[in-house]
Structures are given as C-alpha cells and as structure tokens.
Chain A
Amino acid sequence: MDKSELVISDLRAGYGSLDILNGIDLDVGKGEFVALMGPNGAGKSTLLKTLFGQTTIKSGSILWQGGNIAGLHPREILSRGVSYVPQGRCNFPLMTVDENLQVAAFTIADDKVLSDRDYVYELFPALQARRSTLAGNMSGGEQQLLEMAMAVLQRPKILLVDEPSVGLSPTAIGVVFEELQRIHANGHTILLVEQNTKKAMAVASRAIILRLGKVIWDGAPADITHDELGELFLTGRMAKEDASMP
C-alpha cells in the first residue's frame, strides 16, 4: 500500500443544519479496495456524498492528493479524479449505452474519448453487446454495470460506489462484484458501500464500519468474523476487545 491519497480528518457534515457525520477520521491509500459497512442510517451514503461535494460540511477536512477538497463543487471534485456511482438508478434511460458513455466522458478531452470507450468495453464485455440498446430497456443489473462503466470511463483515481447490489438478482450481483474486482485490478482505488457484507468482505482489502456517523472499526476483513460484524452493527461494541479498534 502506498501512502494515503485520501485523508479525512474530524469530518462533520450533513444536510442543512442536520449533522449526520459526527467526526469521521479515515485514510485511504492508493490502490486500496475499501468496503464501508454499517447499519442502515449510519451515514455511509452521506459520507460518499460528502466526498463528492453534495452535502453541507460543518467542519473538518478532506485531503485528496494533498489538497483540501472539502466544500468544492462536484464538477471540480470530479475533475480531480474522484468518480461517484450513487445508489439507485443513475443513467440516461432514453439514450443508448454508447451515448450514456459518451455523456459520461464529457469531462475528458475529445480525442481520448474513443480509445477510452474501447478500454471500458474491454473491461465490461457485457456492455459491448448492448452498445445500441437504450439504457432504460436493460435489466437492473445491466444498468448497474453501465453506471459503473460510466464512472470508470472518467478514469478516476478513486471510485466511490454506493450499494451496487441493491435490488439485483444473485447472478447479477455476482457479475457486479466480478466487475468491481476487475476495475480494482486495473489500478483504480475503490471505496465501496455495501449491505451485502459477505460479498464485500470477500473482495475488499480493508473493512471499515460506520455507526451513528463515526468510524467504529477499521481493519483487514480477515480480522473480523461475521458474528462479530453483526454484533458491531447492533451494539457498536464487541464483547471481546479487538486490537485494531481505533
């Protein structure tokens, strides 16, 4: 692991005057695959939105590659190599797969777009065959792949993905996770929020557990059992104290 590219310190943020994140401290190194987990309402989605500039930040800092991106506009954050795949459907349903990719690549210089689309199609063979299908006519799983492909096309230095498996069939979930691993293997840093903890722990190089807007556990997936994870979700504590607790 290289030195940390993303350093979040004492981050307090939320919606308007309502604080959801209550002092987050978190480092992510280059090339890491971090699974961010926690009970419903813990603030996982809020953390990703905050990193992408879509919430109100009260205090703290988000150092990204040495610069503070806290409070910047999403377009500026995107141009600095942070791409975001939000939860739920986020594509242009009446455009074809190829058009969706073109639109997603508007931030890239024109002459690179074509070769970059080929790169993405190589990474997502399932989409290659669907190039001229309208996005809205595809299955939920295919649309999720498209949305990930749109983000990957932006050649992000870090990819924020929020619950890509929600509402998908077991087969589609399998494909999505395979794809995430492939993206990671191609050198992209990934911060993944996931309810499906089994799957997430299997692919991630690091697990972080969020509860009530704070990080309560941070370590290697191998260092925590599923029972312990469940206990942490529920109570915020583990009966058997763990060395990696911050």
Chain B
Amino acid sequence: MLNLLGEQLLNGIVTGSVYAIVAVGMTMTFGVLRVINFAHGEYFMVGTFASWFVIEKFDLGYPQSVVFAVALTALLAIVVGYFLMRKMVGAPFENGVLATLGVSLILQNLAVALFGGSYKFFNGGYIEPVELFGYGLAQQRILIVIVCVLVFIGLDLMVTYSRMGKSMRAVSQNIECCEIVGIDVQSVVLWTFVIGASLAGLSGVLTAPVNVSVYGGMGELITFKTLPIIIMGGLGNVRGTLIAAMILGIAESFVAGFIGLQFRDSVGFVTLILMLMWRPHGLFSLQSRF
C-alpha cells in the first residue's frame, strides 16, 4: 500500500511538472493581455509534432529534435504574436476568445492536413527505467521534473530582476500607466506570448516519449487541463501556477491509481470547484502576482 502511495506521488509530481511548464505560459500571457489563450495547447501539439517529424523523416536524435521543436514553436509564436496577439491589447474580451479559438482550429486542422488524422508513434527520449527511492522510474520522467525546476527558477529570476520581467509585471499591474513610463506594451505582450508558447512546445517534446502517441487534437486536452490550473494558481501568478499544477498532477495520479482511470480527466475541474468554494480568489493573494 505504502509502495503504491509513493509511486502515485512520484507519478503525480512528473505529471504536475508537465502541466506546470505548459500552464505557466498561459498564465503569463493572461497576465499581460487579459486573454485566455484557447490555442495554448496547440503549441504543445506543434512542439510534439515537430520533434516527431524530424526524428522520423530526418533521423535526428532526440536532443536535436527538442531544439528544433522549441525553435519552430517559437517561430510560429512570433508570427501569431506579431499578427494577432499583440493587436489584442485593449480589445474586448470576446475578441480574444474568438481569435484564439480560431487559431486553435487552424493549427489542429493544419496538423491533420499535413500529417493525416491517424495516431503517430513517438519514438525517442530516454525511457529506460532507473531506481529512485526504491521505485522504477523512466529517465525521461526525471528529466521532466529537472527541466520544470530549472524553468521555474529561470522564470522567477527573469520576472524579479530582468527588464523584460519588470516590464511584464508593469503591464499586468497597470497597463494605462505603461505609456507614461515609455514601456512598449505590444512588444511586451509579443515576447511574453512567445516565451509562453515556446514553453508549451518544450513541454510537448518532453512528454512525448512518455505519452507516446502524437495526433492533431492532442492540444485540446492540454488546454482543458491548463484552465483550472491557472485559475487555481491565481491568473497571472507564476509561483501559484507551479503549486496548482503539482496539486492537480498529484490529485490526478491518486484518482487514477485508487479510484479509476476513467475519472482522471475530471479531477481538474472538480478540484477547481472545491477550491473556489473555499477560497474564491484563488489559492494565492494578488500580492504574489507576477
């Protein structure tokens, strides 16, 4: 029993790490733009597809495919960010919903049009198990947790100390006032979005060896999982997102292990509802908002 508990906990932390890397980009974009990016999961999908493609067609190694995938996702995000996301500064909320849903549909269908609708098998990564605290765990899963830790340390330093990070906080706290101090809001929105989407792409390639299957609609579930996390974490809150993602990852893992796999994907919204009944403003105060 204790064995199973520990195993589910470890699995939960790995899942939580994946969610955290994806969700943090969505929450940062919301912070500066006040737009829920319904296409966020699609960047996860694009990263996965890009990696799968170069491994299959060009016989590239997994590490090289990671670099390629993140670069391609970033490039795509620069295009979408330049022509769409940064133009949404000051636009009504509905515009953001419609525009990002549109992007989501386009990217999903593009993937199907280019590579077909069938499931693809992802063949790469480090799947040999190693012993950790007496449990067998694929190396890839350990890699995911390490990358997650590094990503959050990096983001925290950036948000706290860099010019870009301070500009991001400034835009999220008082957008009207940015013009007065000379901050280029559109450019801050663009680069925040690019960072966030690239992280989603990174999360996609990191998870692919574990998830194995690659298909056009895979981003949808990710967006759907990300929503309760960013609300729980306090929209726009970087550290809160990490904690909320871990809570959801661990809760899912326990539900899947002890109650039944079929209930796993409902855990997010159930946890969200329970949490909102207890703390209507999210788990964290605005104080800690990035």
Q: Is the Cβ of A106 less than 8 Å from the Cβ of B181?
A: yes
* Segment at the interface with A among B77-85, B136-144, B162-170, B252-260: B162-170
A216 CB within 8 Å of chain B: no
For the complex, give the distance between the alpha carbons of A196 and B289 in Å: 37
Q: Is the Cβ of B181 less than 8 Å from the Cβ of A94?
A: no
Contacts A92-B169, A95-B170 given: A103-B183 contact, CB under 8 Å?
yes
For the complex, give the distance between the alpha carbons of A75 and B166 in Å: 18
Q: Is the Cβ of A106 less than 8 Å from the Cβ of B163?
A: yes
Chain A nearest CB, measured from B242 CB (Å): 19
Contacts A92-B177, A94-B173 given: A102-B182 contact, CB under 8 Å?
no
Q: Is the Cβ of A92 less than 8 Å from the Cβ of B180?
A: no
| A141-158 interface code vs B (CB 8 A; 1 in, 0 out) | 000000000110010000
B184 CB within 8 Å of chain A: yes
Q: Is the Cβ of A104 less than 8 Å from the Cβ of B173?
A: no
Contacts A90-B174, A92-B169, A106-B167 given: A150-B289 contact, CB under 8 Å?
no
Task: Collect the chain B residues with CB atoms within 8 Å of residue A78's CB.
Answer: 180-182
For the complex, give the distance between the alpha carbons of A86 and B179 in Å: 11
Tell me the nearest residue of chain B to A75, going by C-beta.
Answer: B182
Q: Is the Cβ of B180 less than 8 Å from the Cβ of A93?
A: no
B286 CB within 8 Å of chain A: yes
Contacts A90-B176, A94-B289 given: A107-B181 contact, CB under 8 Å?
yes
Tell me the nearest residue of chain B to A105, going by C-beta.
Answer: B181
A74 CB within 8 Å of chain B: yes
| A80-100 interface code vs B (CB 8 A; 1 in, 0 out) | 000011100011111100010
Contacts A90-B176, A94-B286, A94-B287 given: A104-B181 contact, CB under 8 Å?
yes
Which among A90, A94, A102 is the interface contact of B177 at CB below 8 angstroms?
A: A90
Tell me the nearest residue of chain B to A93, going by C-beta.
Answer: B173
Q: Is the Cβ of A91 less than 8 Å from the Cβ of B179?
A: no
Which among B163, B177, B184, B286 is the interface contact of A75 at CB below 8 angstroms?
A: B184
For the complex, give the distance between the alpha carbons of A230 and B173 in Å: 40
Task: Collect the chain A residues with CB atoms within 8 Å of residue B286's CB.
Answer: 94
A54 CB within 8 Å of chain B: yes
Chain A nearest CB, measured from B176 CB (Å): 7
- List the 10 closest A-B pairs by CB distance, nearest first: A107-B182, A90-B177, A92-B173, A104-B181, A78-B182, A74-B179, A103-B170, A75-B182, A92-B170, A94-B173
Query: Hey, which bits of chain A sit against chain B, CB under 8 A?
Result: 52, 54, 74-75, 78-79, 84-86, 90-95, 99, 102-104, 106-107, 134, 150-151, 154
